[in-house]
Structure 1
Amino acid sequence: MRELLDMGLLHGGPGDELRAVAPEEAVARVVGPLDREIRTRRTLAEERRASIMAFLPVFQSSQYSREKESKFEVLEELSQVRAVIADLAARARTEILTAQPGGARDEDTLKEAAPRDRDALDRGVRMRVLYQHTARFNPNTASYIDHISELGAQVRTMDDHFSRLLVFDAETAIISLPGNPRGAVVVREPHMVAFVVETYERLWLSAEPCAVASGARAEVAGDVRQAIVRLLVEGLTDASIATRLGMSVRTCRRHIADVMEELGAQSRFQAGYLLASAPGGTDNAPA
């Protein structure tokens, strides 16, 4: 009985005779006020939302201003670095410079970079990419190089090691964080960015255009061998040479073994001595 009264299906006060109420009348009497209250609260919520969101442009402007004022920003996590790179690439207008040492690049990294680089190139953004020679001999990296080259990017390689860096529109640079390979430093200070760009230009001039012809591959392989010989003479360990040239220690040791065999050397020390004392030094070393 009480439930029917609460639902409005029975009507009548204390001592009065109860009468049945049509369901549609009960709905209008009981649910109607609830509907009106919901509509009122929804309208109020929309008004409050609109009032709050009206401050969004002001907030974004202040955030951007603070970012512009922050000349240096240290990022400790790889996820932070990737987010910043994605944002800068999406906003790039003129040119993106990239220097990626270490030889072959991780397949997941290449998959992540492909659509981002394609979008930038489609917008007419110029792109230059610098790798080490050893990147040419990795199938995934070579395929990626071919892909972005067809879209208009310029790719060059060099034998020696260099620092990892990216520059966007000559305004913002991202450089590797010493001691943390997953971190980076975002640089917005104009003079420092100009220095990074100048450093990149010097590396670019000394690098070789990345061609897919077999003759070019053989020439690059010879450059890699010469670099190994030079570092061997300097007394670097196998691991240090491998790191410097962006190759595995196993591959590096295979090259060193070939050099020692060609020289007839029985040890690294003897090989280094023979190379250093040869006429012309390392210029006439076996390749």
Structure 2
Amino acid sequence: MFRTLGGGDLAMNRTKATHPHAVTELCEEGGRLYANALRTGRIARSDVESAPCLMEFALLHPDPDDASWLRPVPPAVALAQRLNPIEREITEHRRLSIELANAFEPFMALTAQGEASTHSITVLEGLDRINGALDLAIAQCRNEMLTVQPSHRHPERQLVQALERDKLLIERGVRIRTLYQHTARYSPERLAWVDHFSDGKAEYRTIDELVERLIICDEAVAFIPIRDDRQVALELRHPGLVGYLIKVFEFMWNRAVPLSAGAPYETDPDGITDIQHSIAKLLVEGHVDEAIARRLGMNVRTCRAHIAKLANALGSGSRAQLGYLIAQSGILDREQ
């Protein structure tokens, strides 16, 4: 449902005419040759004829001492060259959104109280309208933003956009608190993102299970999805509804683990990890593998691997027997 900020692929797409893939999808041969060049410090020009993308993406440059050789551009430099224009575009979009919000702010006060109450629940259809309403709420946010983000992998561009959004909010003095599932601890992209805010201006915690996304700005407006494809959302401005959602957030927040506290998936003396306890509870409730994986923020293959380990630990020979053994074992009676 929720994206962070819009952005384009900039000059990257122009390379597709000569070598049909983006730099974010470097071909196998290109990746192999680039890695060899980084290890050895240079590579023969003739060796890279099979991967012209390396020159198209400026990952190699001519050796100033010998034209028959090429030298690799350090990956940190190559990454910065591609992120800078994206970040500039994001900053420009953010500036425009703030200007629009400021332009319309004087008119907001003219809305009659009775009319305003009729818009306390707004149905937003389509990503453009959803994201437009989100951008406006975030631009007007002045004190605190609460977010619940079920974990999954994001494209690099979306992570950069989210980083830029959070940076601008923090610069305005806005506090940010975000809840992920425990599986977010095993996402290198997510951990690298969180490292940008290690000064305590933004707080991140994880919990074993989250149901859906939630964004709340300044105790004034909340956004929730109402369809699985996230093409329809509700914008909630009713004080009672927003206040209730804040209480739900605080309930989960107080039971969550700070991201800096280390991995929460520790093994009990019975040989069953915390995540397997969570899976066992959902299995007993009758959820299928796909639903369990979605609620715990992992892929189905990983979920089934945990189920297999759980079955092995309990000595189960079938799925039906596993549910019975979970109920008989008493493992769900322990304090979570």
TM-score between the two structures when normalised by the length of structure 1: 0.70
How much does 1:163 deviate?
Answer: 2.8
Cα deviation for residue 136 of structure 1 reads 1.4
Match of 1:191 in 2: 240
Q: Shift in Å at residue 65 of structure 1?
A: 4.3
Structure 2 counterpart of 1:269? 320
Higher helix share: 1
Structure 2 unaligned residues grouped into runs of 5+:
1-101
Distance 1:65 1:100, change over 3 A: farther
TM-score scaled by length of structure 2: 0.60
User: CA 1:80–1:151 in structure 2 vs 1: closer, same or farther (change >3 Å)?
Assistant: farther
Q: CA deviation at 1:257?
A: 1.0
C-alpha distance in structure 2 between counterparts of 1:272 and 1:199, whole Å: 30
Read off the aligned partner of 2:138 and give its amino acid letter: A
Is 1:165 paired with 2:214?
yes
Instruction: Give aligned-pair identity as a percent.
Output: 38
Matched residue, 1:253: 304
Deviations 1:180-203 (A, max 9, x none): 413321111222211121121112
Cα deviation 1:97-128 (Å, max 9, x = unaligned): 10112x22422432221111111112211110
Partner Cα separation in structure 1 for residue 140 and residue 320 of structure 2: 53
Q: 1:147 is matched with which residue: 190, 196, 211?
A: 196
Count of matched residue pairs: 224
What is the letter of the counterpart of residue 316 of structure 2?
A
Q: Residues 149 and 72 from structure 1, CA distance in 2 versus in 1: closer, same or farther, beyond 3 angstroms?
A: farther
Match of 2:122 among 73, 84, 100: 73
Determine the structure 1 residue equivalent to 2:138.
89
CA contact (8 A) 2:124 2:232 kept: yes
Aligned in 2, Cα 1:99/1:58: closer, same or farther, shift over 3 Å?
closer
Q: Which residue of 2 aligns with 1:282?
A: 332
> Which one-letter code corresponds to 1:225 in the other structure?
Q
Counterpart-to-counterpart distance in 2, 1:158 and 1:59: 39
2:297 is aligned with 1:224: no
The one-character-per-residue Cα deviations of 1:220-253 (angstroms, maximum 9, x if unpaired) are: 9932221012222333211121122111111100
1:138 to 163, 182, 187: 187
2: CA distance, partners of 1:281 / 1:131: 25
Larger Rg: 1 or 2? 1
Partners of 2:322 and 2:236 lie apart in 1 by: 44
* Contact 2:147–2:215 (CA under 8 A) maintained in structure 1: yes
Give 2:284's aligned residue: 233
Aligned match of 1:106? 154
Alpha-carbon displacement from aligned partner over 1:231-284 (angstroms, at most 9, x marks no partner)? 223332111211221111111001111111222211111122112112x33357
Equivalent residue of 1:161, what SS?
coil
Q: Structure 1 segments of 4 or more deviating over 4 A?
A: 57-60, 63-68
Distance in 1 (CA, whole Å) between partners of 2:103 and 2:187 is 48
Structure 1 equivalent of residue 249 of structure 2: 200
User: What does residue 6 of structure 1 align with?
Assistant: none
Structure 2: how far apart are the matches of 1:72 and 1:89? 18
In 1, Cα distance between equivalents of 2:194 and 2:304: 27
